[in-house]
Amino acid sequence: MRELKVVIADDHPVVLVGLREVIQRDERFSLVGEALNSSQLIDLLMLHQPEVVITDFNMPGDETYGDGLPLIEYIIKHFGAVKILVLTMVSNQLIISRLLEMGVAGVIAKNHIHEEIGKALNALSNGRAYTTPMDQPLSVVANVKVIDERFSNLSPREVEVLRLFVAGNSVGEIARLLNRSVKTVSTQKISAMHKLEVLNDHALLTYCIKADPFES
């Protein structure tokens, strides 16, 4: 049986070490590259054309590839044959459902990675998608009225905040990433919610995923 080439990506070295050890012990797979950010990941995909990529959902991105949903969408669009396992600390079912709707092979919660990664690799080696208890289908497309013109009212800074929010970051994490105060980020997020006419985080996330305003 031919070995399946694997690329792994995570900005936490400890996670990479753990994944490396699991993959190198499995004769069905061959680890061909490790990345710490989005650009490195895409470079490795172009170079090696692997059958499997295991990537963190949130890691340092860039203007070209980003992270979170935009990064996964880019990989699916440009590397259609690769099977994608997504590692995440995000528990929001809307994001998980959106990833599955996009076509990823599986989503693994990082706090269960040691128990689940072996099961996931077994599934992929047998040509199956990997399902976990967190993979419960929940429509984020149907029954959501989208008025795209509302996004034209957002300021560039509000769009930045929403992009990072949809990627799974908290207000505090967004403030750190954008080098702004938590108060400023919170104000910009609330302002965006008013302009989009949504009342809570759940509705905001649903609206943004449906409208997909961050697609390049």
So what's the pLDDT on residue 153? 82
So what's the pLDDT on residue 212? 65
What are the strands, taking DSSP E only, across the chain? 4-9, 29-35, 52-56, 83-88, 106-109
CATH numeric code, 148-211: 1.10.10.10
Tokens of 121: 């690799």
Q: In which region does residue 49 sit, left (phi positive, over 0), alpha (psi from -120 to 50) or beta (all else)?
A: left
Q: 75-89, pLDDT tens digit by residue?
A: 999 999 999 999 988
For residues 153 and 172, give the distance between their C-alpha atoms in angstroms, rounded to a whole number. Answer: 24
Q: 35-69, pLDDT tens digit by residue?
A: 999 999 999 999 999 999 999 988 876 778 888 88
Tokens of 112: 């269960």
Report pTM: 0.67
So what's the pLDDT on residue 138? 44
Task: Please name every residue paired with 109 in a beta bridge, in sequence order, or none if there are none.
Answer: 88
Q: 159-200, pLDDT tens digit by residue?
A: 899 989 888 888 999 999 999 999 999 999 999 888 877 767
Please report how the helices 68-78 and 38-48 are oriented relative to each other, as an axis angle in degrees rounded to 10: 10
Percent of the chain's residues with pLDDT above 90: 46
For residues 77 and 63, give the distance between their C-alpha atoms in angstroms, rounded to a whole number. Answer: 17
So what's the pLDDT on residue 137? 46
Residue 163 has a CB neighbour count (10 Å cut-off) of 20
Tokens of 118: 């072996």
Q: 128-152, pLDDT tens digit by residue?
A: 888 775 555 444 433 334 446 677 7
Q: Domain ranges in the chain?
A: 4-125, 148-211
Q: Identify the helix (H) or strand (E) that includes residue 69.
A: helix 68-78
For residues 60 and 101, give the distance between their C-alpha atoms in angstroms, rounded to a whole number. Answer: 24
Q: 89-118, pLDDT tens digit by residue?
A: 876 666 787 888 889 999 998 888 888 999
So what's the pLDDT on residue 28? 94
For residues 86 and 82, give the distance between their C-alpha atoms in angstroms, rounded to a whole number. Answer: 12
Q: Residue 45 in contact with residue 80, Cβ under 8 Å?
A: no
Q: Could you tell me which CATH class the domain 4-125 is placed in?
A: alpha beta
